[in-house]
């Protein structure tokens, strides 16, 4: 096991809490993926077809801007990447993050939080955002730090 980064996007705080526990458990560094324009409660209203998150998720090519690109990915062998599940997939800001760095030869392990759905098409939709030689796999939804051990 090499040097590990726990990178995460959290809209409500649930994924952040899990990422912090994971980083502590695996003795990894932590990095928050912050949107340039923070999401409001209204933006996250999935029942409103015109909410920001609903519109972003309808257009799979949409890439929300992030606050910075200072994750220093080159310093890590593995990245544990966390996010909430939106519409059975990762939010498109995760694609923004993946497309902002060179993940060639890296291992990415996905973890997620969800109100009830699994990964759905997440893996397929994220693979387009990383080089072919990047190992990317799903670990768990709504799991715990113990669940990640078999993936690192």
Q: What is the pLDDT of residues 44-57, one digit of tens each?
A: 888 799 988 888 88
Residue closest to 32 by CA, chosen among 74, 70, 78, 85: 70
Q: Which domain holds residue 34?
A: 4-151
Higher-pLDDT residue of 72 and 87 is 72
Q: Which pLDDT belongs to residue 150?
A: 67
Domain count, the chain: 1
pLDDT in tens, 107-123: 999 999 988 888 889 99
Three-state DSSP at 83 gives: strand
CATH code, domain with 107? 3.40.50.360
Mean pLDDT for all residues in the chain: 91
Distance, in Å, from the CA atom of 46 to the CA atom of 42, rounded to the nearest integer, reads 9
Quick one: tokens of 85? Answer: 């599940």
pTM value surpassing 0.75: yes
């Amino acid at each position: 096991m090499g040097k590990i980064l726990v990178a995460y996007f959290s809209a409500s705080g649930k994924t952040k809490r899990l990422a912090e526990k994971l980083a502590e458990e695996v003795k990894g560094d932590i990095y928050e993926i912050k949107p340039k324009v923070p999401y409001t409660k209204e933006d996250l209203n999935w029942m409103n077809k015109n909410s920001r998150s609903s519109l972003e998720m309808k257009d799979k090519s949409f890439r929300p801007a992030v606050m910075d690109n200072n994750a220093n990915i080159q310093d890590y062998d593995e990245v544990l990447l966390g996010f909430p599940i939106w519409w059975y997939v990762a939010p498109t800001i995760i694609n923004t993050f993946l497309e902002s760095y060179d993940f060639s030869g890296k291992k990415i392990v996905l973890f997620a939080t969800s109100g009830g759905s699994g990964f759905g098409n997440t893996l397929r939709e994220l693979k387009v955002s990383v080089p072919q030689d990047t190992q990317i796999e799903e670990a768990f939804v709504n799991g715990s730090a113990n669940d990640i051990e078999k993936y690192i």
